[in-house]
Amino acid sequence: MKPAKSVAPLPPIDDKIRCAVLDVTGRLKDQPGALLPVLHGVQAALGYVPEEAIALIAREMNLSRADVHGVVTFYHYFRMQPAGKRTIYLCRAESCQSMGAAKLEQHIKQRLGVDFHQTSADGRWTLEPVYCLGNCACSPAMLVDDELKGRVTPEGFDAWLLSEIP
Amino acid sequence: MSITVYVPRDASALSLGADAVAKAIQAEASSRHLDVNIVRNGSRGLYWLEPLVEVETPAGRMAYGPVQPTDVLGLFDADFLHGGDDVLKLGPTEEIAWLKSQQRLTFARMGLVDPRSLDDYLAHDGYRGLTAALEMEPAAIVQAVIDSGLRGRGGAAFPTGIKWKTCLDAAAERKYIVCNADEGDSGTFSDRMIMEGDPFVLIEGMTIAGLAVGATHGYIYLRIEYPHAQRALEAAIEAAKARGYLGDDICGSGKVFHLEVRMAAGAYICGEETSLLESLEGKRGQVRFKPPLPAIQGLFGKPTVINNVISLATVPIILDRGAAFYRDFGLGKSRGTLPLQLAGNVKRPGLVERAFGLTLRELIEEYGGGTASGRPVRAVQVGGPLGAYIPASKLDTPVDYEAFAAIGGMLGHGGVVVFDDTVDMAAQARFAMEFCAIESCGKCTPCRIGSTRGVEVIDRIVAGDRAEKARNEVLLRDLCRTMVDGSLCALGGMAPFPVLSALDHFHEDFEGARQRTAP
């Protein structure tokens, strides 16, 4: 016999978020150690893991809200706020440092008018730091969504940014 | 007759425009009504030449590079499809000295095969290790790995076969093989190359590990920063399943092994094996106390072999060619080969697989060709963000686990990052502490608090007057000792290495006396 599910009422939740969460948990929650795959699924569907989704994920997976909150906040990749249209992951690690990543970082922050973990005013770009993209032979590197770029210079960045603006 | 042209699909090659080059070649071939078959191979690892295009000719594969889409028209005009001369022509790929002088065992197929083609893998000696293993008793497989002298290539250099034996001897109804593909160390990319360029070799290695210890299920824990590797692995796993190399009846032997990829979520600490297991179980990636060892009580409390990508990808050649073949490479207690990853400020960066014993100087000067900036080498960080900074005076150290330990360094995962003389070593020391503070799992105090205090103390040393500097240096060294001795895992326990090596070898950078040279 299945254990009885918690019947405590859930806090109000947006319909779109509820459907997305239930779709993901329905598909993934029964595999062993399912929480990371579920969170990846939710973030892939919604772009982030909304605060209001946590109670529902917890209930569906028979975990406490604290468990889910703890996992979401532990991992750098999971975000609880929506990102911009595209996310730039800029490498800050040593190999890129040796090829001028600090200068590039300053340039990009200034160009987009953001600091790390922020989204540009027009909502197009979110800038996140990352520690190694495995492109160390072509430093400095950045990943735009899932598109990797190598040997990025401030001038190269500007030229690329211009080509991205329709 | 169709002519085969190779354009890498390796992520680094893509980051330099390989897709656009492949498209341009396809388009130009169509417009000239030429029958060209483009194969998207892995990278040969000569990254300063990427995108490196190869053409299959009667005289072997001919290399051209670095190729940009704008070069394609010229290449066709020069008849590169028949090995024609061009300024970008590098000659037969196998004859390029940088590649020819290497001893590629784990990377034997790298760049040669189409990573999406199981047939190509089989045609290049693939699955011969598994075929041999299927004829052997589990204990004999484990013994072969012990005899080969293979040590964990993830960084800790623990003998792989001993780990397997512990797991084999642990009785349980269920066991796991876990591949640590959370390659987080800066300056390392060999795991990524294997997964993108020769994914079947990793799958084969994990399958052999499963047979050896009696595990029926495997996980590849892959970092989220590697989307290309994810696609390559998932495609390869599907292909292996479809042909009976994975599943409920491996090659008709009745043996079972299932494999899946699990994505990490950007926490460096999850490269530590016990954190990784916590993460796979769906928890915060916090370090576990040891013992119990994962080989006895690992994933979901069951005996688990957890190995790095390179360790597992090296197993097939050991089973195929025999333990003695592998052991005969190398020196002392460092047997076999190490795929070194040459990165940072270096003219010819890339993947250099050589037997242990090569010196850092040979690697950086002969393979690397010195710095990319043309300035003198000042410091080299070996082994990722927790590795010591080695001064130019110690470049004659051979690549060997014990020799590196003797100079206070570590080989780690074989990443070598070169810095020129514009580097500020006080800033690098500060970064090591900052990185540790960002990535600490928070379980033990020396790492969680010590790293933040470390950043502050370094700031005070740099900003302070002479008395302040002296006082704080004593404090910093004391703090480093506490972290080394008192941390639960290698993050807090080794983050002081780059700091102390910077203090010891580059003290002038903390004194504010060194004249800064503009880059």
Q: What is the pLDDT of residues A19-62, one digit of tens each?
A: 999 999 999 999 999 999 999 999 999 999 999 999 999 999 99
Q: Would residue A6 count as lying in a domain? A: no
Neighbour-count burial of B206, counting CB atoms closer than 10 A to its CB (0-12 exposed, 13-18 middle, 19+ buried): buried
Structure tokens, B424: 């500020």
The boundaries of the domain holding residue A108 are 86-164
- One domain for residues A156 and A100: yes
Q: What is the pLDDT of residue B226?
A: 98
Q: What is the pLDDT of residue A54?
A: 97
Please name the member of A39, A93, A150 whose beta carbon is closest to the beta carbon of B385: A93
Distance from CA of A31 to the nearest CA of B (A): 10
Q: Which of A39, A74, A109 is the last residue of a domain?
A: A74
Q: What is the pLDDT of residue B516?
A: 47
Query: Tell me, what's the ipTM?
Result: 0.95
- One domain for residues A114 and A59: no
Its CATH architecture, for the domain B425-511, is: Up-down Bundle (1.20)
Assess contact for B56 and B1: CB atoms under 8 A. no
Residue B447 makes CB contacts below 8 A (sequence gap 6+) with: B436, B440, B441, B483, B487, B488, B489, B491, B492, B493, B495
- One domain for residues A97 and A153: yes
- One domain for residues A115 and A66: no
Alpha carbon A11 to chain centroid distance? 24
- Tell whether omega for the bond before B349 is within 30 degrees of 0, i.e. cis: no
Largest CA distance in chain B: 78
- One domain for residues A153 and A114: yes
A62 lies within 8 A of chain B by CB: no
Q: Would residue A158 count as lying in a domain? A: yes
Q: What is the pLDDT of residue B515?
A: 47
* CA torsion, ordered B80, B81, B83, B88, to nearest 10 deg: 30
Q: Would residue A137 count as lying in a domain? A: yes
Cβ-based contacts of B285 with chain A (< 8 Å): 74-75
Backbone angles phi, psi at B337, to 5 degrees: -120, 160
Among chain A residues, the shortest Cα distance to B181 is held by A134
Residues of chain B with CATH 3.10.20.600: 331-420
Number of domains composing chain A: 2
Instruction: Write down the H helix ranges in B170-269.
Output: 190-197, 199-213, 227-242
Residues of chain B with CATH 3.40.50.11540: 118-327
Please name the member of B225, B267, B418 whose beta carbon is closest to the beta carbon of A98: B418
Query: SS3 sequence, B25-69?
Result: HHHHHHHCCCCEEEECCCCCCEHHHCCCEEEEECCEEEEECCCCH
How many pairs of residues across A and B have Cβ atoms under 8 Å apart? 151
Minimal CA–CA distance to B304: which of B190, B504, B168, B199?
B168
Among chain B residues, the shortest Cα distance to A38 is held by B282
- Sign of the CA dihedral running B182, B188, B190, B195: positive
Highest CATH level, class, for B3-100 = alpha beta
Q: Do B263 and A36 touch (CB under 8 A)?
A: yes
Q: Do B417 and A98 touch (CB under 8 A)?
A: yes
Please name the member of B183, B282, B351 whose beta carbon is closest to the beta carbon of A33: B282
Please name the member of A95, A130, A143 whose beta carbon is closest to the beta carbon of B343: A95
DSSP, residue by residue, B66-124: S--GGGHHHHHHTTGGGT---TTEEEEGGG-HHHHT---STTTTTTTS-TT-HHHHHHT
- One domain for residues A133 and A97: yes
Q: What is the pLDDT of residue B456?
A: 98
**To which residue do tokens 């004249």 refer?**
B515
Backbone angles phi, psi at B201, to 5 degrees: -70, -35
Assess contact for A112 and A104: CB atoms under 8 A. no
Q: Do A32 and B342 touch (CB under 8 A)?
A: no
Q: Is the pTM of this model over 0.80?
A: yes
- One domain for residues A91 and A64: no
Among chain A residues, the shortest Cα distance to B387 is held by A94
Distance from CA of A38 to the nearest CA of B (A): 9
Q: What is the pLDDT of residue A116?
A: 98
Q: Would residue A5 count as lying in a domain? A: no
Q: Do A98 and B280 touch (CB under 8 A)?
A: no
Assess contact for A53 and A42: CB atoms under 8 A. yes
Cβ-based contacts of A67 with chain B (< 8 Å): 283
Distance, CA of B164 to CA of B141 (rounded, Å):
10
Structure tokens, B291: 């013992």
Please name the member of A74, A76, A135 whose beta carbon is closest to the beta carbon of B284: A74
Cβ-based contacts of B282 with chain A (< 8 Å): 33-36, 71
Assess contact for A139 and B343: CB atoms under 8 A. yes
Q: Would residue A1 count as lying in a domain? A: no
Per-residue pLDDT of chain B (519 residues; tens, 9 = 90+): 799 999 999 999 999 999 999 999 999 999 999 999 999 999 999 999 999 999 999 999 999 999 999 999 999 999 999 999 999 999 999 999 999 999 999 999 999 999 999 999 999 999 999 999 999 999 999 999 999 999 999 999 999 999 999 999 999 999 999 999 999 999 999 999 999 999 999 999 999 999 999 999 999 999 999 999 999 999 999 999 999 999 999 999 999 999 999 999 999 999 999 999 999 999 999 999 999 999 999 999 999 999 999 999 999 999 999 999 999 999 999 999 999 999 999 999 999 999 999 999 999 999 999 999 999 999 999 999 999 999 999 999 999 999 999 998 999 999 999 999 999 999 999 999 999 999 999 999 999 999 999 999 999 999 999 999 999 999 999 999 999 999 999 999 999 999 999 999 999 999 975 544 444
3-class secondary-structure state, position A16: helix
Q: What is the pLDDT of residue A4?
A: 53
Distance from CA of A49 to the nearest CA of B (A): 13
- One domain for residues A25 and A93: no
Distance, CA of B152 to CA of B208 (rounded, Å):
16
Under CATH, domain B118-327 is a member of which superfamily? Answer: NADH-ubiquinone oxidoreductase 51kDa subunit (3.40.50.11540)
What angle do helix axes B190-197 and B309-321 make, rounded to 10 degrees?
60
Half-sphere exposure of A2 (CA within 13 A, CB side): 4
Distance, CA of B29 to CA of B35 (rounded, Å):
7
Among chain B residues, the shortest Cα distance to A103 is held by B519
Please name the member of B16, B192, B266 whose beta carbon is closest to the beta carbon of A134: B192
Please name the member of B262, B267, B431 whose beta carbon is closest to the beta carbon of A37: B262
Q: Do B341 and A99 touch (CB under 8 A)?
A: no
Residues of chain B with CATH 3.40.30.10: 3-100
- One domain for residues A32 and A58: yes
Q: Would residue A52 count as lying in a domain? A: yes
Distance from CA of B331 to the nearest CA of A (A): 28
Query: What's the Cα-to-Cα distance from B36 to each of B5, B13, B19, B55, B80, rounded to whole Å?
Result: 7, 20, 16, 10, 12
Q: How far apart are the first and last CA of chain A?
A: 58
CATH code, domain carrying A95: 3.40.30.10
Instruction: Return the CATH number of B331-420, one of 3.10.20.600, 3.40.50.11720, 3.20.20.70, 2.40.50.140.
Output: 3.10.20.600
Q: What is the pLDDT of residues A39-51, one digit of tens each?
A: 999 999 999 999 9
Residue ranges in chain A modelled with pLDDT below 70:
1-8, 166
Q: Do B226 and A137 touch (CB under 8 A)?
A: no
Assess contact for B90 and B63: CB atoms under 8 A. yes
B227: number of Cβ within 10 Å = 17
Distance, CA of B486 to CA of B489 (rounded, Å):
9
